[in-house]
Structure 1
């Protein structure tokens, strides 16, 4: 009677071994990871899987770390938490300035400046470039703006293709198709009301890799709406765009109709935006292109303004082709500013 438990245990072990041999998948040995994959699959799907080379039995390596006696530290330490944001300003870079130096002097953070202005960490900053500066501490006054920026980096060899969008969505899709055919990205200044009316079109702008920027909520004359009106137009547009596309419109803004005052510029800057004008708009672009072909260096850093009109999509391929023929790269506003 004392040997009975040992006999029963031996019988169970033998049954398990024989059963595993009879029912194992022929010709394949399952790794531990493969069994883990099989366990994650629904039972019904495993039953319906083909009997030959089933995906449930492929030896896939799952991304589970090997056990370790001591925790492995992250490759780069996390940055220290920043203080609460206290506001924004815009600073025009002086010769020899660096992001670290600007941040220390103005009460900001170099990484936050780079992220807001869409800069790579090692991007050199050319003198006179305007940077939107998030403020976290009290610092020195910035060397700011009194009027919109009219040109990107003249040494970039690039030209910004920018579009003011506030009419419909039909033309927007035609413009996106023209850019897609030429493999070009642009910057779209949208109104908040347009984004509310055509949310799918706004999402299409972002989905295709283009920049989305702020063109106000209702497209008013900014010289007539007061400082509180300026703040509301920008804030509400950014809220709507973020809610619908997941992207912020900062730091790019353009005044509707190109209408501004020095006070309106200051109010825009205080909201974390850099206002931009243009080198040529729709009607002036053909003559501007003639000058660009004759002297490409004078056109580098140019900002072209187009609108969501039927003629825009039709003229866009020719604009891109002429710029490239002149050795100029059509691209986004952020790329042209670098």
Structure 2
């Protein structure tokens, strides 16, 4: 059993389709109205049908008042970390502290290369991500001038600022042992997706994060565990994990908290079905909160 005792958070994962802007903004307005905590937006600049994630996040923050927004996860190879740090801090200041930053090492390397980015090996991508975490922290610091000399990223007398409006969560969407070790030492949160990291593998990955955190003198419970989940809330019988009636969703999400260590769930529905998102926000989320509170109590 792995329950870190953290407060629960819930969000949505709208697809940034360029031909569905009004529908996206309706969804995030509903998330804001219904009290969801987060909106996560995937970042694939090479996908021709997608809006630019950072432009969309700015609009989402402008159209909402309380929900927090984050890239799920930012494509580091196409976004220099010093500039991304400034963009993140700017969005946080403009929104009054409602921006978080999740980073990915990169994927779909031929597409990244086609846009002028580096086509990295796994080791190179991991090193670049590790350096980026340090660069971003420096760019959020109170220092007048910062320097950094890495293999992939460099700063030479850069001037940090503006300061974020709050301590932005720096989350990593990673899965390898080396990067999970970095996460345990340096990051504020972990953002896996159920499609890549199903529940049976979670305990071993938590163990690697926790081992690294404790070796660095950190409390593993200080690290947020954000799970991107996908499926369908139906009126019929179960057809698999997170595909079935409301009661199944409540049971399975509750077990993910109490047995699998996750504390935050970001839901993506097929076709961004607004009825699915409404069921998620209005029915599933409060029921999971209640079930976990009862079991913990």
- Taking structure 1 as the reference length, what is the TM-score of the superposition? 0.37
Return the structure number with greater strand share: 2
TM-score scaled by structure 2?
Answer: 0.41
Higher CA-based Rg: 1
